[in-house]
Copies of this chain bind each other. A is one copy, B any other.
Amino acid sequence: MTPAEFRHLVRNQEYVNPTAGICPGFSQANLIILPKEDAYDFLLLAQRNPKPIPILEVSELGQRGLKRLGHDLDIATDIPKYRVYQDGVLVEEPLSIEKYWSDDFVSFLIGCSFSFEDLLLEAGIEIRHIEEKVNVPMYQTNIPLEGAGQFSGNMVVSMRPIPASQVTKAVQVTSRVPSVHGAPIQIGHPEEIGITHLDSPDFGDTVTIKEGEIPVFWACGVTPQAVVMNTKPHLAITHAPGHMLVTDLANRELII
């Protein structure tokens, strides 16, 4: 299935699940939509925090299409599940945001670590949440972002358990794709970044950590949602964690 075919399924609400493992070889993207008046502060936040918020594309004002990430793409319908935040509170998880759409919206598409999972698989590293057919576990941390204007908050991370013998390889592989979060931000000591319960993630699902495996943490594109909950802008629309935009951009294009 091509990314465009998958987006059509989503548009018709025939696929409403997390997207890890979908369309291998193609990048996936996080979303945050903000009114124009908040766009400068958010773009500056991204510039100052490129690990958790690596921008892949910014839409033109009010446009539901994109230029770089895909043709035949509608940002208001092509994500399996959205989250609508009003004054920092999650008020709805709709399958489409057409009824919310405004000509005043700017969409920010942010690199997603699902994009490097096929590179890890190619390197012989198993991805536990794909194996267990659940959403990736994600955690709030105590790592403060560098704030910008009204926006501030802490970094969110995703976690993958990696056998100790493969941690070096996982660092090497992901270092080559900085635009989808790049190298891990922490290896093996969750409590150092404020994570006390690996078995109860703040977003997504729990996965098994086997004997001899190390929890490895990557910066996560759900970070903007933590920022929204912290700073409470009037309106923000995001993807639901793990439910990403599947783009036409080949992962190999992101390798440096």
Residues of A within 8 A of B (CB): 39-40, 43-44, 46-48, 55, 58, 178, 256
> Which residue of chain B lies nearest to A182 when distances are taken between CB atoms in the complex?
B256
Query: In the assembled complex, which residues on chain B have CB atoms less than 8 Å from the CB atom of A40?
Result: 39-40, 43
Beta-carbon contact of A47 and B55 below 8 Å? yes
Query: In the assembled complex, which residues on chain B have CB atoms less than 8 Å from the CB atom of A178?
Result: 256
User: Which of B47, B55, B58 is close to A58, meaning CB atoms less than 8 Å apart?
Assistant: B47
- Chain A interface mostly: helix
Complexed CA–CA distance, A39 and B58 (Å):
15
> Which residue of chain B lies nearest to A46 when distances are taken between CB atoms in the complex?
B47
Beta-carbon contact of A44 and B43 below 8 Å? yes
Selected A-B contacts with CB under 8 Å, 12 pairs: A39-B40, A40-B40, A43-B43, A43-B44, A43-B47, A44-B58, A46-B47, A47-B47, A47-B55, A47-B58, A48-B58, A178-B256
Smallest CB separation, A54 vs chain B (Å): 10
Complexed CA–CA distance, A175 and B249 (Å):
22
Copies of this chain held together in the complex: 2
Query: In the assembled complex, which residues on chain B have CB atoms less than 8 Å from the CB atom of A43?
Result: 40, 43-44, 47
Of all A-B residue pairs in the complex, the 3 with the closest CB atoms, nearest first, are A40-B40, A43-B43, A47-B55
Complexed CA–CA distance, A43 and B48 (Å):
12
- With a 10 A CB-CB cut-off, give which of A39, A47, A55 has the most chain B CB atoms: A47
- With a 10 A CB-CB cut-off, give which of A40, A43, A47 has the most chain B CB atoms: A40
Query: In the assembled complex, which residues on chain B have CB atoms less than 8 Å from the CB atom of A47?
Result: 43, 46-47, 55, 58
Smallest CB separation, A40 vs chain B (Å): 4
Smallest CB separation, A55 vs chain B (Å): 6
Complexed CA–CA distance, A66 and B202 (Å):
35
Smallest CB separation, A184 vs chain B (Å): 15
> Which residue of chain B lies nearest to A47 when distances are taken between CB atoms in the complex?
B55
- With a 10 A CB-CB cut-off, give which of A39, A46, A256 has the most chain B CB atoms: A256
Complexed CA–CA distance, A256 and B182 (Å):
11
Complexed CA–CA distance, A178 and B182 (Å):
15
Complexed CA–CA distance, A55 and B47 (Å):
8
Query: In the assembled complex, which residues on chain B have CB atoms less than 8 Å from the CB atom of A48?
Result: 58
Complexed CA–CA distance, A55 and B39 (Å):
17
Complexed CA–CA distance, A178 and B256 (Å):
10
Complexed CA–CA distance, A40 and B47 (Å):
12
